[in-house]
Amino acid sequence: MSGILGVTATLDSPPATAPRLWAKVIDHTRCIGCHACTTACKSENEVPLSVTRTYVKYVDVGEFPTVRRAFQVTRCNQCEDAPCVTACPTRAMYRRPDGIVDFDKSVCIGCKACIAACPYDAIFINPEDHSAEKCNFCAHRIDIGLEPACVVVCPTEAILVGDLRDQTSRVARIVEREAVAVRRPEKETRPKLFYKGVHQATLDPLAARRPPGGLFMWSEQYQARKAVVSGHPSPANSSAAALLSYDVAHGAPWDWRVSLYTWTKSVAAGAYLVALVLVVMGAVEGDGVLWRWISPLVSAAFLAVTGGLLISDLEHPERFLMIFTRPQWRSWLVRGAVIITAYGGLLATHMGTSWLGLAGVERLLRVPGFLLSILTAVYTAYLFAQARGRDFWQSALLPPHLLVQAVLAGSAALLAAADYADPAAAAALAWTLAGACAVHLVLVVGEVTLAHPTAYARLARWEMIHGRYARWFWAGVILVAVGTAAPWIGLGAVPLALAGLFAYEHAYVQAGQAVALA
């Protein structure tokens, strides 16, 4: 029997012919929901209050008098194709040769990309050292031949760890010969955490009703049951006979700063892109102040604000240069940082050529400027798509939608300056703003009416148009709709269109994170 209450257990030696591949089996036919694993993990790994590497979720299944409580031990799934590893810009999250997904706090910048990417909500920011962490199989114990702390203390041997390549290990025998399940197999992460005898109401985060407000006092559960009886349950893919009775908080990793970043980046990309296109079309003077100075200055100013927002959102802003000094090139945070840096360099070069009067050099910048402004506008779509746990953001409409938003924001910003800088361009900018507002609204309709393939995406859409972020969403729609009248109301459309775009962005970004994943 594994170690119990102080008896130290050791791991068997692996076969000499193959490297280890560690995995866990959690046997829910044995789990009694005692939380010994949670407390042992906290003690062993010095996990502070308010966060957990592992916890036991409770779901009450059935209806009186045939009710029972089902448990699920929730933790990192040790994915073979780990989204957190792909999203991490500095390789702070990495997968070891033995299959354990581990982390290095000394190079974590606290960007929270790993949290957004994880489909299992298994990663958190430690409130004491401000770095990301999660269950790592107690790798420090594994490396010296000891079992993880949770395995040692479990009084019913419900948690097993073993080498999948060792056919004599209990874990390998169970996985190969018995019925086991994994969480969210559709994400194709190939987890190495297997559940035996688990109830679907615990395995699927949306299968059980959640009490209003996410609280779990018995009085609030009574209110939840009243809501179902009155016909107003919270929207979810839930079973009426399953009620979530104990869970931990599930917060959004990215706050209003990320919402604002998408807006400032739209202005930064669009102010240059719109001016460039209108210059090529002849609607804006190629040697005028709007193109030579105002467009690159507005873009550079908002690009600087964008960079400031991204750095301020880091838990370790002093480490932000690690994105460049130890980049993990699959991460779209790294790729985006390179794009923004290159775009900033181009804007500085443009202003330098304007200062020196080098019109020929400025014309050579137009092609790379066109490409970099588009990349700056749309790369966030790929950054969001890398957050594989957030189904609402996995939309093919997002890249073109971000490009349209850049045109909207850029034309609005330039229109505000056109009256005194280039009055002849005002009409073209007003029509550009009106057209961008109209196309934006069409794409919004597409985002909310096209079929979403998963319950997670449908619930996020509900939160955006009916739930917690409905006021932001509808304010954004109404204000941008007024922006379509820009040719007639002129400058009056500028603040309304820009405010409407931010309101929509905030609703979209936050609603995408509103659905619990565990």
What DSSP string runs through 252-304? -SS-HHHHHHHHHHHHHHHHHHHHHHHHHHTSS-TTSHIIIIIHHHHHHHHHH
Integer Cα distance of 333 and 177 in angstroms: 42
Alpha helices in 386-492 (DSSP H): 398-421, 423-449, 455-465, 470-483, 486-489
Integer Cα distance of 94 and 114 in angstroms: 11
Instruction: Name residues whose C-beta falls within 8 Å of residue 210's C-beta, 6 or more positions apart in sequence.
Output: 224, 234, 236, 238, 244, 247, 516
Report the amino acid identity of residue 226.
K
**Over its length of 518 residues, how does the chain's per-residue pLDDT go in tens digits?**
343 333 344 555 554 456 889 999 999 999 999 999 999 999 999 999 889 999 999 998 888 788 888 899 999 999 999 999 999 999 999 999 999 999 999 999 999 999 999 999 999 999 999 999 999 999 999 999 999 999 999 999 999 999 999 989 999 999 999 999 999 999 999 999 999 999 888 888 888 887 765 555 444 444 443 433 333 344 444 455 788 888 888 888 999 999 999 999 999 999 999 999 999 998 888 788 898 899 999 999 999 999 999 999 999 999 999 999 999 999 999 999 999 999 999 999 999 998 888 877 888 999 999 999 999 999 999 999 999 989 999 999 999 999 999 999 999 999 998 877 788 889 999 999 999 999 999 999 998 898 888 889 999 999 999 999 999 999 999 999 999 999 999 899 999 999 999 999 999 999 999 998 88
pTM above threshold 0.85? yes
Integer Cα distance of 90 and 107 in angstroms: 7
- Output the CA–CA distances (angstroms, integers) from residue 417 to 358, 424, 475, 491, in the order listed: 24, 12, 25, 9
Report the amino acid identity of residue 325.
T
One DSSP character per residue, 337-405 reads HHHHHHHHHHHHHHHHHHHHT-HHHHHHTHHHHHHHHHHHHHHHHHHHHT-TT-GGG--TTHHHHHHHH
Q: Which fold has domain 256-511?
A: Formate dehydrogenase/DMSO reductase fold (1.20.1630)
- Output the CA–CA distances (angstroms, integers) from residue 419 to 39, 94, 278, 413, 428, in the order listed: 66, 54, 16, 12, 12
Report the amino acid identity of residue 105.
K
pLDDT in tens, 326-353: 999 999 999 999 999 999 999 999 999 9
Integer Cα distance of 260 and 280 in angstroms: 30
Integer Cα distance of 49 and 52 in angstroms: 8
- Residue 8: per-residue pLDDT: 41
Q: Which residue has the tokens 């460049």?
A: 324
- In terms of phi and psi (left: phi > 0; alpha: psi -120 to 50; beta: otherwise), the region of 99 is left
Four-way CATH pick for 22-246: 2.40.37.10, 3.30.70.20, 3.40.50.10440, 3.40.120.10: 3.30.70.20
HSE-up (13 A, CA, CB side) for residue 31: 29
- Residue 212: per-residue pLDDT: 63
Write down the domain spans for the chain: 22-246, 256-511
